[in-house]
Structure 1
């Protein structure tokens, strides 16, 4: 037995090896079978229309100050303590709801600031912040 012998004839090979061609076609067929259902699967929905313009309606800020003797100031105007819940409820009902900035004097008792915070929470205000001064170097 002689392996790798060559014919001495220089004949042209007239047959095409079909095995690699069939392998490639089967792989492509499998890829198409998998991807076509994924491409056609969609849900028809009617999307809402919206504008992409930014809204510049910033909520205004309400300043509630508590001075050293425990008095309340609504936007720099002194108010009686019994008017505070009414004013906070009126601001909570507005749309958009304003931000409440509480400024407490460092000499005031914490109790007065806590009462203002509790009144704001009961009125329904959601955005409450504290105003402080930075420490001087």
Structure 2
């Protein structure tokens, strides 16, 4: 390491700067910002609705599906009839087309499409329910809902 003592005979000003204090100050500021930023970041407080459960309105045009997955075998029931994945898609397309034609065609004003209500056994693997949802959406159904059984003694009111 070399050190300039200033007796070289030149009367030129010294142009070197000691950067050690600058680095020290920057490191202290970095640490302060790393500690302070998580404190400054806040989340937005929201009042989300608290719903125990809401009763569904069952219309005759809605599709009611029941799904079980006993032993890893996915079984889907349209009403009381067991259907395969292909049969489910075919029946859903026919049902949706018939309902649209009953209401006056695809360009009718106030067209109300039927919904799919799924009742899934608590022990059913997700792939069974997810596959059924996917099949019904491929058929054109936009609204898919789940039917659950409320706990005994629960209220049907919004909180």
TM-score, length-normalised on structure 2? 0.46
**Superposition CA RMSD, Å:** 1.8
Which portions of structure 1, spanning 4 or more consecutive aligned residues, are displaced by more than 6 angstroms?
Answer: none
SS of aligned partner of 2:151:
coil
2:136 matched to which residue of 1?
Answer: 120
Structure 1 position 91, deviation (Å): 2.1
Does the 8 Å CA contact 1:63/1:76 hold for their aligned counterparts?
Answer: no
1: CA distance, partners of 2:136 / 2:83: 15
Whole-angstrom distance in 2 between the partners of 1:68 and 1:115: 12
Task: Map Cα deviations across residues 2-43 of structure 1 (whole Å, 9 max, x no partner).
Answer: xxxxxxxxxxxxxxxxxxxxxxxxxxxxxxxxxxxxxxxxxx
For residues 23-70 of structure 1, the C-alpha deviation after alignment (integer angstroms, 9 at most, x for no partner) is: xxxxxxxxxxxxxxxxxxxxxxxxxxxxxxxxxxx6622101102322
Show the 5 A alignment for 1:1-137: 60-69=61-70, 70-93=74-97, 94-95=99-100, 96-136=112-152
Q: Any stretches of 5+ residues in structure 1 without a counterpart? A: 1-57
Moved more, 114-123 or 78-87: 78-87
Q: Hey, what's the Cα distance between the residues in 2 that align with 1:86 and 1:104?
A: 21
Higher RCO (CA-CA < 8 Å; seq separation 6+): 2
Question: How many residue pairs align between the two structures?
Answer: 80
- Give the TM-score normalised by structure 1: 0.52
Secondary structure at the aligned position of 2:94 is classed as helix
Structure 2: gaps spanning 5 or more residues? 1-58, 101-111, 154-159
Rg larger in structure: 1
